[in-house]
């Protein structure tokens, strides 16, 4: 029996999926059969979700019905709102609030008619497809409620007449977003909705493989995403961009960071040996947004582009042995800043997008399930003998 250890499951093909495909050498990402550059800037987020769930584009009537169904789950149960506000008042992070809130989202399920439960204690009200929609619909409300409480403001009730992306922006500020803001956020949500068997997605699939419920799978995925090695870089990217934007000499700032042994955030990726295709899509979205009549600070955008150019040049000179091309976090920071997402919510907004992929993967796992059960290689001792407590 092969006992080759691949730490971090590096290179291990654990299962099949129709949801997304990554070619790291060519810098290509396919989502639901569409190349990323075909999907991200054209689809609404609701259309992308439909593709992930149904494996096809919706008709106009199907899309209208799907939007209405999603909107119907946006409001939080009182207890969920209470725990999310308590997280904000207690100084917890947005990701902690997201984990607490989504763990209580089962309160949005209809009560079981007769209290019946299955062999493992699941209630009769558990429905995987509905739970997927509950998770996708409620996570933006959870994050927005957290932010309003953190800022000392009353929560804003969701609106069913706004799109998924538009409603999220509205709940953060109480102001209806511009078309450019909605399109910018939708492009971001589409670009990061799914990305193979990354750590959070694989966590969710492993949970679903036990035939647990979809909301438990999403809760575990949120916990995995909270780790700084998975989804935490856009915030530090924005810190760097703010620093270079205020500087007279971008090269000097970046050289000083490298001389001090610091990483330039937003460059390099474990999977891609060339520029991250999501960075390419989001760079186009950023340019379109910042140059639009109702867009953002064009000077900041120009400064960010200069920072990318200088950083890639420096990294190529100093580390020619590494493939340190621009990754998704670099332009994530630029786009999210532009459309009005506060920096402390960057990782949670990533979750607002990726929950679409998490739920689709959980449903795919449940449809043709085999429990995830890898082996381990024992490296401990053998043959030890027991010593009684009075002889140790």
Task: Give the position of tokens 């330039």.
Answer: 264
* List 308, 329, 361, 364, catalytic entry: 329
Helix (H) or strand (E) holding 31: strand 28-31
What's phi and psi for 193, nearest 5 deg?
A: -65, -30
Task: Give the position of tokens 């929560």.
Answer: 155
Report the DSSP beta bridge partners of residue 21.
30
The verdict on whether 361 is a catalytic residue reads no
DSSP per-residue letters across 102-121: HHTGGGGSPPPSS--B-TT-
Any residues with CB less than 8 A from the CB of 322 and at least 6 apart, and which? 268, 315
What's phi and psi for 289, nearest 5 deg?
A: -70, -50
Strand order, beta sheet including 28-31 = 20-23, 28-31, 34-35
How far is the C-alpha of 2 from the C-alpha of 12, rounded, in Å?
A: 13
Contact assessment for residue 163 and residue 179, using Cβ atoms and an 8 Å cutoff: no
Angle between the N-to-C axes of helices 328-339 and 234-245, in degrees from 0 to 180, rounded to the nearest 10:
70
Helix (H) or strand (E) holding 75: none
Q: In 277-294, which positions are buried (b, 16+ CB within 10 angstroms) versus exposed (e)? A: bbbbbbbebbbbbbebee
H-helix segments, the chain: 36-39, 45-54, 60-71, 78-89, 94-103, 128-150, 164-173, 179-191, 199-209, 214-226, 228-231, 234-245, 250-259, 277-291, 298-318, 328-339, 346-367
Q: Using alpha carbons, select from 42, 44, 46 the residue that is nearest to residue 65.
A: 46
* List 46, 47, 164, 269, catalytic entry: 269
What's phi and psi for 209, nearest 5 deg?
A: -65, -20
The verdict on whether 269 is a catalytic residue reads yes
> What token pair was written down for 161?
């007449």
How far is the C-alpha of 58 from the C-alpha of 81, rounded, in Å?
A: 33
Q: Which residues are catalytic?
A: 269, 329
């Amino acid at each position: 029996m092969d006992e080759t250890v691949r730490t971090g499951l590096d290179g291990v093909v654990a299962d099949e999926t129709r949801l997304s495909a990554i070619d790291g050498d060519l810098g290509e990402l396919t989502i639901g059969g569409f190349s990323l550059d075909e999907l991200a800037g054209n689809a609404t987020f609701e259309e992308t979700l439909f593709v992930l769930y149904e494996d096809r584009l919706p008709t106009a009537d199907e899309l209208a019905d799907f939007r209405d169904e999603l909107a119907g789950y946006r409001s939080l149960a009182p207890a969920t709102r209470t725990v999310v506000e308590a997280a904000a008042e207690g100084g917890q992070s947005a990701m902690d609030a997201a984990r607490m809130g989504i763990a209580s989202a089962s309160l949005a399920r209809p009560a079981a008619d007769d209290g019946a439960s299955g062999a493992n204690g699941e209630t009769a009200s558990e429905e995987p497809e509905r739970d997927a929609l509950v998770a996708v619909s409620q996570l933006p409300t959870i994050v927005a409620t957290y932010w309003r409480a953190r800022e000392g403001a009353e929560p804003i009730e969701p609106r069913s007449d706004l799109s998924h992306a538009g409603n999220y922006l509205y709940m953060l500020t109480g102001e209806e977003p511009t078309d450019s803001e909605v399109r910018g956020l939708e492009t971001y949500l589409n670009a990061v909705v799914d990305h193979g068997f990354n750590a959070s997605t694989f966590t969710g699939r492993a949970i679903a493989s036990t035939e647990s419920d979809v909301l438990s799978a999403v809760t575990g995925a949120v916990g995995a995403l909270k780790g700084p090695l998975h989804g935490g870089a856009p915030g530090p990217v924005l810190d760097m961009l703010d620093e270079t934007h205020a500087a007279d000499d971008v090269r000097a700032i970046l050289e000083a960071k490298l001389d001090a042994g610091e990483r330039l955030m937003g460059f390099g990726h474990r999977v891609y040996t060339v520029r991250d295709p999501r960075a390419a899509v989001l760079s186009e979205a950023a340019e379109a947004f910042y140059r639009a009549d109702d867009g953002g600070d064009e000077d900041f955008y120009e400064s960010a582009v200069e920072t990318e150019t200088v950083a890639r040049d420096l990294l190529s000179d100093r580390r020619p042995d590494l493939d340190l091309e621009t990754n998704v976090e670099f332009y994530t920071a630029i786009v999210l800043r532009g459309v009005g997402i506060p920096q402390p919510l960057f990782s949670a907004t990533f979750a607002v997008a990726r929950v679409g992929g998490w739920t689709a993967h959980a449903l795919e796992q449940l449809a043709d399930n085999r429990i995830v059960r890898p082996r381990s290689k024992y490296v401990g001792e053998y043959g030890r003998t027991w010593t009684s407590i009075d002889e140790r």
